[in-house]
Structure 1
Amino acid sequence: MISRLKIGLGVLLAPFVVSEASAEATARVLSFDSLSGWHTDNHQAALEAYQGTCSRMEDQEWASLCAFAQSNPDAKAFFELFFRPVIIENGTPTLFTGYFEPELNGARFPDSIYRYPLYRKPQEPYINYTRQQIDETGALRGLEIAWVDNPVDVYYLQIQGSGRVNLTDGSSIRLGYGGENGHPNRSIAQTMIDQGIIPRSQASAARIRDWFGRNPGFGQQILWSNPSYVFFRKLSLPSHKGPHGAMSRPLTSMRSLAVDPLYTTLGAPVWIEKSGSPSLQRLMVAQDKGGAIKGAQRADIFFGTGDVAGKIAGQTKDGGRMVVLMPIQLAFAMAPEGAQE
């Protein structure tokens, strides 16, 4: 049976606030047997991802479960004993996309090849500069973290929000999101489609990079059509760890999700059933968020680091369903009728 959450999910999914949007969501409590592929997943891998961020969850229900999770219980039994699957919907179709941690080529100092800067967040007088103003005025000179060899890579690094820069001296720098200039984000792919430069069916990151390589002058104008600009900060992370997500903890390849925290509690386990190729049925953890991730059935899958992960992420645009695992009391408070599929 469906329960309409008239009080807003924010009340139940503390610490998020009540909003008009969340008040229109519905919730159903499901059974674990109704989750396709549940019994054959690697629950231990999901538990390890969950352990990495559950300590950041302050609500008492979640904190108690986290304390027990740290004792390394049998993973499948832990989730089945203390959680119930809840499907939350707000009328929009399920959409899974993907993201990854890019690897860029760079240098600590500029030269004829490495001449495109990655900046730290500036002070207040320059924070609202557009992308074009930042490039043309040089107002952020002195805030460069590193220099890379391709302006399109700068743009896509800003879209992903974090990445690695492999330097000419053999070392590398890990970068995380450090803020932005406050201007609206406008897709350069959409701009290129609108101008007839590429057809929608071919608007992939690889195709866009290839076009920029052949049209560097006009390409700069396309980049400037997006006034939004993201700044970075250095991260001290072991090379084998993933980038930090919204919970300030490393993400896990193929186990971390970016979600809309209005509907899905950050840190919660989330079961996904993604159609398409490859199809995925696995338990993941909501450990990140993103500006384009809006809605109860919307998620971005973290595919890992490097070009292979980037290719898969760029091709991911699939339906399916996502089901949040909630502590039992919270689950039945969200759907008080307590009916299961």
Structure 2
Amino acid sequence: MKRLAVLLLAVLAASCAPGSPRQPPPLPPAPPTAAPDQFGLIPSQFADLPGWRDDAAAAVLPALNRTCDRLLKQPNDKSVGQNGMGGTVADWYTPCSAARRIAATDHDGARVFFEGWFTPFLAVNNGSADGLFTGYFEPELPGSRSKKGKFVVPILGKPRDLVTRRGADGSMESGRMVGGKFVPYASRAEIEAGAIATQASAIAWVEDPVDAHILHIQGSGRIRLEDGSVLRLGVAATNGLKFVGISRILRDRGLIEDASMPGVRAWLKAHPAQAKALMAENPRYVFYQTISGDGPVGSEGVPLTAGRSIAVDPRYVALGLPLFLDTVEPSGQPLRRLVMAQDTGAAIKGPVRGDFFWGTGEEAFDKAGRMKSGGRYWVLLPQRRSPRIAGIN
């Protein structure tokens, strides 16, 4: 013990001696590298699904029927999802026909239908069913077809010089041709500074740049015109650059504590001088087109159904499949219901990840903007799937 004390004193003295070199403290160990995503499906029973018997199951049928309308127009032998996760189109003919015979209020009948035609599989990532679920909505903004009065913020249509092609990894990328070479398209900051003024025309004008930015984040929306009519907008294209969320930008600057979308919107509107430059740090820009139909159109190509459509990562879950969701609302109330995978999103990445569509208007905005919940989901696959490509027994 005495020898240890003498050694400690010697070390301390050496460290304080004039001219003695100071050694930097050792670096902390590097954080463990996250394991690569590994999607898996665990066979389950409907009795395993919490709240299965409490859901108003027939409410998902309009969304399912929209998927069926799209699906059954395709070749019989076409695979549903990557590697034929959902079998082939032919495997859906009879279930889709049976779904149409169920009354809109027959929730027990809807449950019997799903139990008879589908098998639930718990989705996991590296064996864990824990995932993240957020929400989105369809903004509705006052606006005009022309620039006048307070309506000075343009909603641009697809530029004439924008080119879309398939990249080396198979994904679609956007840019333009310059001197015979494909180059990245202009960023948000460049576009808002007038870089493509001769290439893109506004299809509508709105009042508030913050609300326009939120429209860009959501991907679809409605413009309520001065005569009371509604102009529904859907994505025509993007500039192809990376999406950077405004909430992340504000958090990284230490400017905000409430990083929910309602909190972000309130901060941006209260600080207009800073808001423009901060929003321009998101380089991604969305170009719009007018659409018709009962709701915003998701990536599957069908109108979304409020409270029954969800955005997923299509690398893992095929668009058009039913899911049973087990998460919570922003209020803390359970959110357990059948939904349809009918959309995708730039920030929706990972095997157990979802973005729940709340609908249109301010109430939907409040719920969507505050939702960031843990949860899990089951993928419902047809019991009769073509074994040649189904890949799941």
Instruction: Report TM bin, short chain.
Output: 0.7 to 0.9
Q: In structure 2, what is the equivalent of residue 7 of structure 1? A: none
In structure 1, how many angstroms separate the alpha carbons of the residues matched to 2:133 and 2:246?
21
Deviation at 1:296, TM superposition (A): 2.0
Instruction: Tell whether 2:121 aligns with 1:86.
Output: yes
2:382 alignment partner in structure 1? 327
Q: Are residues 334 and 30 of structure 1, via their aligned partners in 2, closer, same or farther at CA, if it must alter by over 3 Å?
A: farther
The one-letter code of the counterpart of 2:273 is: G
Q: Look up the match of 2:190.
A: 133
Q: Residue 338 of structure 2 aligns with which residue?
A: 283
In structure 1, how many angstroms separate the alpha carbons of the residues matched to 2:148 and 2:274?
A: 22
After superposition, the C-alpha distances for 1:31-58 in whole angstroms (9 at most, x for unaligned) are 1111111122212112232111123234
Cα distance in 2 for residues equivalent to 1:136 and 1:209? 22
Alignment partner of 1:234 out of 270, 290, 302? 290
* Percent identity over paired residues: 39
Alignment of 1:166-205 (within 5 A): 166-199=224-257, 202-205=258-261
Deviation at 1:331, TM superposition (A): 10
- In 2, the alpha carbon distance for the partners of 1:63 and 1:161 equals 32
SS at match of 1:319: strand
Give the superposition deviation at 1:67. Answer: 3.1
Deviation string 1:227-258 (CA, Å, 9 cap, x unpaired) is 11001110122xxx221111222111111111
Task: Give yes or no for contact 1:55–1:63 (8 Å, CA) kept in 2.
Answer: no
Paired with 2:339 and 2:301, the residues of 1 have a C-alpha distance of: 17
State which drifts further: 309-318 or 135-144.
Answer: 135-144
Select between 227-236 and 246-255 the one with higher mean Cα deviation: 246-255
Match of 1:101 among 130, 138, 142: 138
Contact 2:262 2:370 in 1 (8 A): no
- Counterpart CA distance in 2 for 1:310 and 1:64 is 38
Q: 1:27·1:334 contact (CA, 8 Å) conserved in 2?
A: no
Q: Deviations over 1:45-95 (max 9, x none)?
A: 122321111232342223442233233383222111111001121236311
Contact kept, 8 Å, 1:246 with 1:287, in 2: the verdict is yes
Shift of 1:217: 2.6
- When Rg is computed on C-alpha atoms for both structures, the one with the higher figure is 2
Q: What is the aligned length?
A: 311
Alpha-carbon distance, 1:123 to partner: 1.7
Which amino acid letter does the alignment assign opposite residue 190 of structure 2?
A: Q
1:141-184 Cα distance to aligned partner (Å, 9 max, x none): 56101110111111111111101111123222000111100111
User: Residue 77 and residue 214 in structure 1: after superposition, are their counterparts in 2 closer, same or farther (change >3 A)?
Assistant: closer
Q: Does the Cα contact within 8 Å between 1:29 and 1:335 map onto a contact in 2?
A: no
- TM-score calculated relative to the size of structure 2: 0.74
Q: Identify which of 262, 265, 281 aligns with 1:209.
A: 265
- 1:22-37 equivalences under 5 Å are 24-37=38-51
Does the alignment pair 1:263 with 2:320?
no
- How far did residue 218 of structure 1 move? 2.2
**How far apart, CA to CA, are the structure 2 residues paired with 1:321 and 1:328?**
21
Q: Please give the alpha-carbon distance, in whole angstroms, between the structure 1 residues aligned to 2:297 and 2:308.
A: 14
State the match for 2:303 in structure 1: 250
**Aligned-residue offset at 1:335:** 4.9
CA positional deviation for 1:334: 4.9
The residue matched to 1:124 in structure 2 has which SS? coil
* Cross-structure match for 1:117: 154
Contact 1:29 1:331 (C-alpha < 8 Å) held by counterparts: no
- Asked whether the 8 Å contact 1:105–1:166 carries over to 2, the reply is yes
AA matched with 1:274: T
- Determine if contact 1:107/1:114 at 8 Å carries over to the other structure: yes
- Cα pair distance change 1:41/1:183, threshold 3 Å: same
1:330, CA displacement in angstroms?
4.2
- Greater than 3 Å deviation, 4+ residue runs: 71-74, 329-336
> What stretches of structure 2 of length at least 5 have no aligned partner?
1-35, 75-87, 104-108, 163-174, 177-184
Tell me the secondary structure at the aligned position of residue 299 of structure 2: coil
Is contact 1:88–1:263 with CA below 8 Å preserved after alignment?
no
